[in-house]
Amino acid sequence: MIILKNVHKRFGNLHVLRGVDLNVRAGEVVVIIGPSGSGKSTLLRTVNHLEPIEKGEIWVDGIPVHQQKDLRTVRSKVGMVFQQFNLFPHLTALQNVTLAPTLVLNRTKEEPASKAMALLKKVGLEQKAQAYPPQLSGGQQQRVAIARALAMDPKIMLFDEATSALDPELVGEVLGVMRQLAADGMTMMVVTHEMGFARDVADRVVFMDDGVVMEEGKPEQIFANPQNPRTKQFLSRVLEK
């Protein structure tokens, strides 16, 4: 479903991605962990071409993203959820969800609206459909953002530290929605600091450091028996909290 081959990316002199290879199969949940500055968020953002790459290849569902072709198609197949939610504050929760399907998929007004209500119900917010984002809590905003991404019927969902900006007591409600999605068979790439989520939900855990994939494997293997010394060091630091 997603193929990354020798992906390189620089910000000025900073070489953030130094040859990343990663494949994600349909229906797989891949969780990317690693210290901040390891390039994991940047990697995620290359998949839907929010970050262009300098070298390497990225294929999403058979489309060569690195050639910058069919970006609209790629982006309509790839949903993304951001750390800062990025809901459109001038639109209601419902309008946030219906905007893209109405414009990009050229659907009539009624169909996206009923589908959006179903999605808001799925994330537990059907009673907030008419609320504006500033009236919602962080957890509620992020759940609307997930519904908004799902409204495009994506084949893949990208989560870029989706719970990092939330108050601790609101993290659970967002992770709950993500677990449900994974259980429904969605192909997911998740960048997170929630090790519990990685352990329970991931089919595969990828550890990144210094712009490369240091180690990958099944969660029980990575967490119980990491091979790379950097992985060991990172896990001992985060798990001891």
Partner 1 sequence: MNWHVVVESKGVLLGGFLVTLQLSFWAILLGTSLGLVVALIRTTHVPVLSQAARVYIDIFRGSPLLMQLFFVYFGLPYLGFEVEKWLAATLALTLYSGAYIAEIIRAGMEAVPKGHREAAASLGLSFYEMMRYVVIPQTITVALPPLIGFYIGLVKDTSLATIIGYRELIRESQGIIDRTARPLEVYAAVAALYFIICYPLSVWSTRLERRSTAHL
Binding site for partner 1 (CB under 8 A): 48, 50, 72-73, 75-76, 78-80, 82, 84, 86-90, 99-100, 103-104, 132, 134-135, 145, 148-149, 152
Three-class DSSP category at 130: coil
Minimum CB distance to partner 1 smaller for 38 or for 76: 76
CB of 132 vs partner 1, minimal distance in Å: 5
Rounded CA separation 40/173 (Å): 24
Q: Give how far Cα 114 sits from Cα of 83, 195, 228, Å.
A: 27, 36, 49
Minimum CB distance to partner 1 smaller for 52 or for 229: 52
Structure tokens given for 72: 């609209």
Residue reference for tokens 């759940």: 143
Rounded CA separation 30/182 (Å): 10
Minimum CB distance to partner 1 smaller for 186 or for 198: 186
CB of 54 vs partner 1, minimal distance in Å: 20
Minimum CB distance to partner 1 smaller for 76 or for 231: 76
Rounded CA separation 12/31 (Å): 28
Structure tokens given for 176: 């709950």
- Long-range CB contact pairs, 66-72, < 8 A, 24+: 72/104
Minimum CB distance to partner 1 smaller for 177 or for 198: 177
CB of 182 vs partner 1, minimal distance in Å: 20
CB of 102 vs partner 1, minimal distance in Å: 9
CB of 29 vs partner 1, minimal distance in Å: 19
